[in-house]
Structure 1
Amino acid sequence: MTPVQSFAAPATATASPAAPGAAPAAPPTLLCVDDEPNILASLRRLFRGKGYRVLVAESGAEGLQVLENEQVDLVISDMRMPEMDGARFLGQVRERWPDSVRLLLTGYSDIQSIQDAINCGEIYRYITKPWDDNDMVLVVRHALERRALEQEKQRLEALALHQNEELKALNQSLEAKVEARTQQLQVSRDAALAANDKLKQNFVTTIKVIASILEMRGGALSGHSRQVADLARKLAVRLNLNAKESQDIFVAGLLHDLGKIGYSDDMLATPLTMLHGEALGLFRKHPLRAEQLLMPLEDLRGTAAILRAQLERFDGNGFPDGLAGLAIPLGARILALAVDYYNLQQGAMVQRHLRADEARTLIINASGKRYDPNVVNAFRQEMDGGGGGDEGVDVLSGELVPGMVLARDLVSRDGLMLLAADHTLDARMIQQVQDFEAKSEGRLPIRVRPFAKGK
């Protein structure tokens, strides 16, 4: 037998159809290493009809030569081989080609040898001889899928890093313009740098990536989520929630439709009261899907819990868990009201678009049934403009004057906190805000108190 052989089936056997004009994806490449030719022949027959490119080698040394000349996605190695056993071979593969997935093929029950392979080669799985063909194909498929997920994760991390660099460049540009125009008030430099650091936090970057995915559906989704998030945070403030809880609720408002990714345009455009049967059942699952998508992110687990319970009702007739009363997380009780208030106005719940006053009346009438009475009371105060909300008035950036104090956090349309509440504005910072607004081509929601405390 030739030391190294390559067998490739047509790429269309496992690859997805290529986009028009795009080159078809290359099939995954497997390297099988075993000192028994019949074993290699069996592996070759098994995989060449499954859309894989198969390389074979009869020893660990030959396998290393193949890896030096070929791009290999997955390595299957026998454990017992002369000169270099599978543990040593896979250990070298791990050190030199860590991106290649490693599987161990063993025909005897030597626990210590298997442990050596796991410790030295960090193998994905081990498979005993004789193997079941279906099990073998399934293990390889799962291993390659996991590798693809890891590569996608690395791609997203690189994307986030690139966005951080772009944001840093924008901040530097803003800093240069402010220095050129004002040439004064250098005492605010530390405050500006602190605000820029907040924009670059990994948590905020994660939110930005997720929000960008939601915005791909187009339409008014981005604006709607922003309205929901703002109202939810105002209600949280009125109910005296702490900063972390308010932030979780605000993020939940931005991402409340996350679980609907993948739903058809027709379903998204159909009012809730018109959904029946399978479509209604699918709709009721979107909170669970949102929770599942966010659970791997530790900083967003509070938000994930809120999203899971957003369809629960105060009277216990909601979904997915049938929780009632105070058993429903307070954040979810707040989010449910905020989402419904704007969905009623946008035709997402009933067949016509309600006026704001009509939506308000329906929500108030559902107090104690669909909604928490305490949340409804905070909502009424917010709509009436009574005490308990953030004091101050809404202004345009061009109306800002030095000495004004932010009555609430200044947050961009993408959910990035630019300045914290109670920050006293000076001429230099006002110019930064105006420059940022001009570059983002959108008005920032600014609420201020007229003058700093003590003035």
Structure 2
Amino acid sequence: MLCVDDEPSILSALKRVLRAEDCKVLQAGGGAEAIAVLEQHPVDVVVSDMRMPGMDGAALLAQVRARWPATARILLTGYADMKATVAAINEGQIYRYIHKPWDETELRLTVRQAAERRQLERERDRLQALTSAQNEELKALNTGLEQRVQERTNELRQANDQLRRNYLTSIKIFSSVMELRSGVLAGHGKRCANLARKVAVTMGLPEDEVQDIFVAGLLHDMGFMALPDSIMSKPVGKLTPEELASYQRHPVLGAQAFMALDDHQTVATLIRTHHERFDGTGYPDQLQGTQIPRGARILAVVDTYDDMTHGHLTGASLTEAEARTILQRGRGTQFDPEVVDVFLHITQEVKPKPVRIEPVSTDHLKPGMVLGKDLLSKEGVMLLSAGHVLSADMISRIRKYAMAEGLNLALDIRMPG
């Protein structure tokens, strides 16, 4: 606190009165001296007399307001100085003015309130600064957290995509191994799965349903694993009645293989119903129309088409045009009309220009090359599917495989241009 008065007796009286407020009291004998003190010491409250030679109280407090606006300003004034007091209020924006002679209790209370107000303002400023700093820290933490969440989300998405790819690769491998039982079935599951997926996507089916249809396409003939070789070695059209009855059990047997897999019951249902007919005369449950799951209605069309074009039914392969004609005849009886229409539409689209494919030995394989045809083992098992992009690690595995099997292996690679 700074007390300013040109009379030493007044300064002594002020110091005596304010000693009880437990504060450090500085003194100045005029305005210029008070400015010098303020430049050297932080002061919360200035108590100044009005009438002083040189610089009066109003002028002093106006300067204090301009240079140290946080400092509380109290003016001591007589009743005859009201005009000057009004000027001090207007120019110095004083906190309070006290008439002389002062009441000691009023003076102490006024000074105490001014000091407390300054302390509150200081604490407010401190808290505001602290809040601002904490807000900046929180903003930085939020930014970092959002970045970490995004990074973790990307990692999880990549891991999920990798799991999905591994899952589908495992299904494809199992499908290829399953088809080894009959050379005529090699690649049948993969072709059906790809065609079924195209039909499902064209029909606008949800992604999860499309994947279930694709997996069911790969494994729809799983029930063949339970049939004897005598049945598997014949085209369907050449089976005896007894053999045909056993053959028609394969959708049921295939679906039963999924009994313990909770997440694959939809796939199991598609496998069981893919030989149902739209008119209700199919097997095994004689379902009709929309009673047959949509995915099974799609599989029925693509399965029959592939059977006809690869000789599975009669031993003789039909042309694509002949197979399309037969599908058209079965529209509304054997097959769902909508599925037939979509299938015929997507299979008559303009085919892309032929891709130039050349054999490349394992020694000349490079990362980034694209496989043009399925890579099969000497037993007929599909090792890699067409379209697979070779990585350095995959090339290393292929070379090790060729060396271990004693093969002079060349892969069919899509060539640029």
| Richer in helix (by share) | 2
TM range (shorter): 0.3 to 0.5
Query: TM-score normalized by structure 1?
Result: 0.44
